[in-house]
Structure 1
Amino acid sequence: MTVMEQRGAYRPTPPPAWQPRTDPAPLLPDAEPYRVLGTEAAAQADPELLRRLYAQLVRGRRYNVQATALTKQGRLAVYPSSTGQEACEVAAALVLQERDWLFPSYRDTLAVVARGVDPVEALTLLRGDWHTGYDPHEHRVAPLCTPLATQLPHAVGLAHAARLKGDDVVALALVGDGGTSEGDFHEALNFAAVWQAPVVFLVQNNGFAISVPLAKQTAAPSLAHKAVGYGMPGRLVDGNDAAAVHEVLADAVRRAREGGGPTLVEAVTYRIDAHTNADDATRYRADAEVETWREHDPIELLEREMNARGLLDEDTRRTVREAAEEMAADLRARMNQDAVLDPMDLFSHVYAEPTPQLREQQALLRAELEAEQEGAH
């Protein structure tokens, strides 16, 4: 299939510029974030899915707490906690099939772990250790992306290439509200819509791009409304409602897989912890604001619903918490071991075929290391 043969591809005779290409009405998001928990729709939620979401939420909360503690112990250089945003992260991981791809940002370690990556490997980049820390192709998880929004065009490119090859693959790309102010965000959405690429964009709107509130980034009614300008549907969802986020993402992934093109989902949530361990959040937000959002905690919301339906007894709660503690203990023990570093790894995976300059530098370093070792003896 060529680019010109694709649905939605550019044609030599487009409609006049004044004439809309797409009816905007079906693309507009709802006025209020979509919710499931605490509504009549909750009765239709799959009990097994709720149990899976709950187990991953509790595990994720414990993971965030343990990783934050590791920064204070000097075992991590930095950690961007996703406490308060666990519902977005877990739903993003669970909604994908094994052949699909996840494109995370630097705050999405929890989604990476929920996708099946080893908890220690997910922290390797933040530890300042070897490369990504995990094999992206093995797990179908792109490297944790520190530059803002640069993972989004990559997700579009992979999804578009998969479609050209006839592969049944959907890419799900995560980004924060701050990332929507980057050019890569707009370029990715535009290309995705023009190419009708099977990609889903999940914006975790946690209120702040470090210290800059959303109101200083955009005057749009919502970030989901931005989808209309590119010709794709926008969905607005309560980002602390795990069941709602999973449902909305599942619909978007299904639509993409069936050839319906991309969707922009805005999940309204809140970053309870500071931006990272190097940030002082008290300088730009009040404690009362944080406490208000604590009352909308994603774990408590799900617990309340499961208790009401008789899906969560004390044995189940204890089993889930014990499993989370075991994960944290294993993470703590392995992170407290000093990494075994090989300086020659500097030259690994730079090029598929090393350049003459790289070979020369490699030989020089090897000679220096050997001379140093001989001198020690």
Structure 2
Amino acid sequence: MSLIQILNYSQKKEFETPPLLEYEIRQEIFSVSPIIKQQIESIEIDSNKVRFIAMYGYFKVTQTFYNPNLFHLDDLNYICKRYHINFDPNHIFSKNTMALYKKIIRYQLGYKPVDSTLKDLLLKTAINLITQIPSPKALFYTLIELAIEHRYEVPSYTLLSKIITDAMNKQRGDIFGKLKLFSHNEELQALQRVLEVDETLPGRYILSKFKKLSHSLKPSKIKEEVKLFETIKNYHNSILDITQKIGLEENTAKHYAQWVEKSDMHQILRKEKHKQQFDLICFMVHHTKVRNDQLCDILLQSVQSAKLSAMREHQNTYFLERASRSKASLEITSLLKDNFIPKLYSIQNTLKLKISSDKN
């Protein structure tokens, strides 16, 4: 049974690597109590003393034991300098010695090793929360917090992944049992037609055109998206009664819908019929919500775009009118200056001469 991927590569690497520490933090976490100091003094090999202190400090911060090969060199150098001991990276650190150090550190800090009691607790919790928590990743960190709360060391990534996978498989198995009662339902038979080859696009399957979302604001593209949404919504409405009866939750639908999005058709077609139906139900349920939200976003963007276009048009009209008014003003000024005012002066001078002549 393959385990589901909870964390991506970089997240998993971060989880399995000791934290990066500032100098001030090193001073605090690599400080040891008198009892631990006595324990360190009883260790004969300096390199093992350094490793013990590093394990102790890291565990105080994260309640996790790490691969000694991943200990940060800056931390090891700090420990050597502070406690005046030497470290030889070529010295072999045996598994038995590491197991002994883990036992001592857990005991001194008041933590328990992972045992069947914790595994049962985590599995029961995962089964109860699988439909309530938005993603396997969120459930992963919830289980870590639960382990720490009960004074256990943090389980390994592999163990937590197995517990979450088991919880999801149990939930899916319960749904499969209910879904098989509807295996010959007409609506489900119609839904499976999306696994057929698209006659309008030879070589492609009908389901493929439902996977991609367009965010274009072009009217033709929006029209296509609306048409696809209506088709998916019709599928969703036709199986709504089945969805309710099998107890499909939104988070479950989202998880398996995302698997469908990433998978090629051959992976889906290889599955048993009831598993294909389950995946398609999840896909239609999730994509009805996703595409509804997407069309709302497109509508808002279209309205905003229309507003901006109207504002730009108004500004252009205003500046054109202002330029036109400025031109008219210049023409009137020029007319007054070149024609009207000279004529006015001429008339004024003529009148002055006439008045002067009349007085004489």
**What TM-score, normalized to structure 2?**
0.24
Whose RCO is larger (CA < 8 A, sep 6+)? Answer: 1
Q: Answer with 1 or 2: which has the greater Rg.
A: 2
**Larger strand proportion of the pair:** 1
**What TM-score, normalized to structure 1?**
0.23
**Larger helix proportion of the pair:** 2
